[in-house]
Amino acid sequence: MVATLQQQQQQQQQEEEGGGDGGISINNNVDLLAEILGRLDARSLAVAARVCRLWAAVTRRDILWESLCLRRMPSPSPSPATRSVVTALGGYRRLYRRCLGPALDRLDGRRTALNRWAGEPWPIHLDRAEAQAQLSVSLSLFLSLFSIDCYERLGPARQRPASLLFLCRPVDLARSGP
């Protein structure tokens, strides 16, 4: 019995170190871990940041948040000027947390409510031309909102920025027309 307990402990230790049955630990390869975490949504990425210090360090990489932003809001690949503006304002993680995430959550909620109101079982889709037109405007709109929010936060510490507060207010869909 003592021998089997020691064997189990050794096997667990080998598995934790990446040895054992020839399996690999994703913690041994940070690039592989970053590739896997880069495919998660925002909530899953936030949960992954709490797993261990290594995962927290990887989830703080701006490239993960950039890919998340571009996945949620498909647009032409950002120019170097766009990247430098976002970096100067705090990075893609901050852009997602302050602006893009709340706006997209609210739009998803509104789209779901409209679908229920219209009695459609699937999401309402725009035609391709309308979608492309909206996407080209959306990146510049989100960057504008983000820069205004950052500018407002430069003021007195007690003043609360108002530019993005509209994202937190509920919308009464009964009053708004289709």
Tens place of pLDDT for every residue, the chain, 178 residues? 555 666 666 666 665 555 445 567 777 888 888 998 988 888 888 899 898 999 999 999 988 888 888 777 766 667 777 788 788 888 888 888 877 777 777 666 555 554 454 444 444 555 555 555 555 556 667 777 777 777 777 766 655 555 555 555 665 656 655 5
Q: What is the pLDDT of residue 57?
A: 92
Domain ranges of the chain: 26-60, 75-178
Q: Give CA–CA dist 140/146, Å, rounded.
A: 10
Q: Which is nearest to 89 in space by CA: 153, 41, 160, 135? A: 153
> Residue 71 belongs to what H/E stretch?
helix 62-72
Tokens of 84: 């430098």
